[in-house]
Structure 1
Amino acid sequence: MFQASDNPLDRLNNPFIPPAAILNPNRGLSWPEMGANKKIIIKASLLALIAGGLWTPFYAQAADIGQPSAADGQVMTDTQTAEARAKPAVAIAGRVTRALFTRKVKDLEPVDTVSVLTNDKTRITYFTEIHGMAGQTITHRWEFNGKVLLEKKHEVGSSHWRAYTSKTLDPTWLGEWKASVVDAAGGTLSVNTFTYMRKSDAGSTPVSTAPN
C-alpha cells in the first residue's frame, strides 16, 4: 500500500502520489499536526493557482503578438490592392510646346525652321520643347516611306525640357520625312514633316529656312 509523505508539499510536487493520499494527507498525524498541514496545503494550492493564472494570459498574449490574425492579413491585402489600383496604368500626358526641323541648334535654340531641304545638305535636326513630363522618357521617332529609321530616347529632366535629335540623310532619300514625339506608353504627342528634294528641283519650289 502507498505510504504518504509527512510533508504536504512533497505530496503536491510528487506526480506519483495518488489522489487519495493527497486528499487524505493526515493519516498517522496528530490533530495539531493535521491542522498545521492543512494550512500549508491550502497556501501551496493558492500559490499554484495564482502562478498558473499569471502565466496563462502572458503566453496567450505572446501567441497573439507572434501570430497575426487573418483579419490583419486581409486588411494588408486590401491596402496593397488599393495602392496598386491608384497607380496610373500609363504615363501622365504632358505636352509638346514646340516641335520643328532646323539646320542646327545653338544655345539650346533652333537657328531656323525647315520645311523643305535640298539634297546638297545632308544634316537636319529635330528640336522639341516639352512641358509637364519631368521624370518620364520620350522618344524621337524618324520615319521615311512608312519605315522607322531612327528612334532616340530622351530622359526628361524637368517640367520644362528641350531635347533634339540630328540625322544624316542620304542624298537619294528624296521625299517626305516624318518625325514624332512618342511618350513611354506609346502615345504620339507631336508629328512634324519636311520634304527632302533635289537641288535642281528647288527652283520651282521655295525652300523654307525661316529664321527664329
Structure 2
Amino acid sequence: MQTMDSITALPDGAASSPAASRNVEPILNVLRAHLPARGRVLEIASGSGEHALAFARALSGLDWSPSDPSQDARTSIAAWRKTAGPENLKPPLALDAADPAIWPEGPFHAVVCINMAHISPWAATDGLIRGAAQVLVPGGLLYLYGPWREADVPLAPSNAEFDQNLKARNPEWGLRALEDVSALARDHGLRLTLRVEMPANNLSLLLRKA
C-alpha cells in the first residue's frame, strides 16, 4: 500500500499504521459534524483500513465502502472487517482514484480521501475530483485530509522538509496547492466550503457538490 508511514503487519493479515491511530479522532470529529446521519460513503485510498473501521463503528447510520488499488491494502481492510468490523463496513473495492470509469455506481452522500494527494501523481487528484463529481448526490461532501500548500500561508518547516522528501522519492509526488485543487473542483461543480486546521500542520478540506 502507498504510504510514508511505518506499517506493522499483524498475523491475521491486517496492518497497523501509527499515523492512522494518531489522526483518527481529530478526523472523526470533523466528519461527525458534517456527514449526514444516514447514507452511503465511499472512501478512496483506504490504506490499512483502520480509518474505515473506526469511522464505520462511530457512524453506524452510514454504509462505509472502503477502497484501495493495492491488494495488500485490501487484504488488510478485509482482515480488520472480519475480526472487528460492524455490519455497515462494506467489503473493500479495488479502485484506482485516477480512473473514475471503474468507480462504483452512485449515488454516495460523501467521498472521503485521507493522505493521498501528496503521495500520488496529480492524475490521482484529478481523477478523485472527477470521480467525486460523478458519484456524489447534490450537496454531497468531498472530504480531503492532509498537508497542503497555501499561497498566503507560510509553509511549516516540517511540511517543507516533508515535501522535499516526497519529491526525492518520486518527482510526481509532493504537497499540492490548495488553490489548484479548489480550481479543479470548481471546474467539476464542487465548491470548497470549509477549511479546518488540524494537528501536525494538516488541513481538512470540505467541498460540496452543487
Regarding TM over 0.5, the answer is: no
With normalisation by structure 2, the TM-score equals: 0.20
- Higher strand content, 1 or 2: 1
- Higher helix content, 1 or 2: 2
